Amino acid sequence: MRELERVGVFSLSFSRQGIGNYLRAEILYRARVMPFESARAVLSDAARAERLLSLCHTIPCEVINLKLNKYGTAVEKQRFLQWLQYADSLYTHALSSSLARSC
């Protein structure tokens, strides 16, 4: 368990299990976990750990069941972007930040 103190939850074995970056980002966003938060802190809280693990199953299933394709046609890409929740947050934040700097 000592290794978990030095490891951010972002780098925790997601990549070894074949979960891509967009899935990892979506899972962490929906779980309300900061990417570089200590894995020990997240996993020692039973409710947070349960939510994180549940989303590791739910989110990939959503992509499969909704037949989302980020590399497909323009319509497929649009459906994929509409599904993403973390991207909306990032784009909104980036837009508001750039607007604030230009004023």
Break the chain into its structural domains and give their ranges. 3-102
Could you read off the pLDDT of 41-58 as tens digits, one per residue? 888 999 999 999 999 889
What sign for the dihedral angle of Cα 14, 85, 73, 61? positive
Indicate if the pLDDT at residue 99 is higher than 50: no
Would you place residue 21 in the very low, low, confident or very high pLDDT band (cuts 50, 70, 90)? Answer: confident
Residue 85 DSSP class: S
Instruction: Provide the whole-model pTM.
Output: 0.67
- CATH code for the domain defined by 3-102: 1.10.8.50
> 4 or 38: which carries more pLDDT confidence?
38
pLDDT of 101 reads: 47
pLDDT of 78 reads: 84
